């Protein structure tokens, strides 16, 4: 698929989902700008339907499926959180049956949220292979369509509507920081947790990850899959800068804490990763021509009673920021 075709599909997805999703706000913060020495614009997908950008891709996919197959029996997704919740919501909206496969370790907070939209929750072992096998079993038994969390053209086009909106709202951005794939015309930088090996794979143009697929050790549950998708990887190689921002758990916590304290925004760890990247020395040392930075706050689904900086692992607590 060419870049022109991809853009056309994103515009179509935008028109399809526009009546049902929020056009999320873009906020700025003087304190943050003073801290990083650049002008940051926060695209607040944490305020999106279901609390994350995943609502866009799930809804675009299910609406297209329902139109092409009015007798659609149902859909199934595997997810530890946001994609499952988004698929449950979109299915409920479209009047389609839905099952969501989650690891046994998934918190009741997330399970209850998925069930709230009428979806059936199926638990599996905590590894990528088990959840895929469980998903395929349900799809075969029930005749359901699988909605992949990212490796699906219609999901990709739905998620791409974020960039479309963002550039309509702030057309002169110099760069965007995302904890996922992105689009062209401006510099798009990927943010990864330690252990994801994204930069090595991007620079080589090859999938260097070990098989079978693994989860990495990160507090950002939405970023724990080590591998990028088979469909998304060539898109990322073509459109995203090869220089990747890598952040550790303490960096992510500091990004979250800054958001809570100064942006007055509840964000999850995956969004904290992009805030951390924007606060990093690496960004300060980059091309001085990069002055206006887009930061996508991808989601806000976090159990407020289990914030990571209260974990015994981080006894020193979050960083105190030197703001001025």
Sheet holding 39-44, edge to edge: 26-27, 39-44, 292-297, 175-178, 187-193, 245-247
Among 52, 80, 179, 201, which one carries the catalytic annotation? 80
Distance from C-alpha of 138 to C-alpha of 145, rounded to nearest angstrom = 9
Query: Is 80 noted as a catalytic residue in this protein?
Result: yes
Ramachandran region of residue 2, left (φ > 0), alpha (ψ -120 to 50) or beta?
beta
Distance from C-alpha of 177 to C-alpha of 56, rounded to nearest angstrom = 19
C-alpha distances in angstroms, 104 versus 78, 79, 124, 215?
12, 11, 6, 14
Nearest to 295 by CA among 188, 183, 197, 156: 188
Among 43, 49, 54, 196, which one carries the catalytic annotation? 54
Distance from C-alpha of 52 to C-alpha of 82, rounded to nearest angstrom = 7
Chain center to CA of 110: 16
For the chain, helix (H) and strand (E) counts, in that order, are 12, 10
The residues facing 75 across adjacent strands are 98, 145
297 phi/psi in degrees, rounded to 5 = -85, 95
Looking at the annotation, which residues are catalytic? 54, 80
């Amino acid at each position: 698929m060419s870049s022109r075709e991809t853009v056309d599909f994103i515009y179509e997805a935008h028109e399809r989902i526009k009546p049902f999703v929020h056009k999320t706000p873009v906020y700025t913060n003087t304190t943050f700008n003073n801290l990083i020495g650049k002008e940051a614009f926060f695209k607040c997908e944490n305020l999106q339907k279901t609390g994350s950008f995943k609502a866009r891709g799930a809804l675009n996919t299910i609406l297209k499926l329902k139109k092409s197959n009015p007798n659609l029996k149902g859909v199934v997704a595997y997810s530890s959180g946001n994609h499952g919740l988004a698929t449950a919501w979109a299915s409920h909206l479209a009047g389609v049956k839905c099952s969501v496969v989650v690891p046994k370790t998934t918190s009741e907070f997330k399970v209850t949220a998925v069930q709230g939209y009428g979806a059936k929750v199926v638990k599996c072992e905590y590894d990528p292979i088990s959840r895929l096998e469980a998903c395929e079993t349900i799809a075969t038994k029930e005749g359901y369509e699988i909605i992949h969390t990212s490796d699906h053209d219609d999901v990709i086009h739905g998620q791409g509507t974020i960039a479309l909106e963002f550039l309509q709202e702030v057309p002169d951005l110099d760069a965007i920081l995302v904890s996922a794939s992105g689009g062209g015309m401006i510099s798009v930088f990927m943010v990864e947790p330690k252990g994801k090996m994204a930069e090595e794979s991007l620079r080589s143009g090859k999938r260097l990850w070990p098989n079978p697929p693994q989860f990495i050790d990160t507090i950002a549950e939405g970023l724990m899959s080590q591998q990028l998708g088979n469909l998304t990887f060539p898109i990322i190689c073509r459109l995203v800068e090869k220089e990747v921002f890598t952040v550790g758990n303490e960096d992510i916590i500091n990004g979250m804490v800054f958001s809570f304290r100064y942006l007055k925004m509840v964000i999850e760890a995956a969004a904290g990763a992009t805030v951390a990247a924007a606060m990093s020395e690496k960004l300060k040392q980059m091309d001085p021509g990069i002055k206006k930075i887009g930061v996508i706050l991808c989601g806000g689904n976090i159990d407020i009673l289990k914030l990571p900086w209260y974990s015994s692992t981080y006894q020193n607590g979050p960083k105190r920021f030197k703001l001025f």
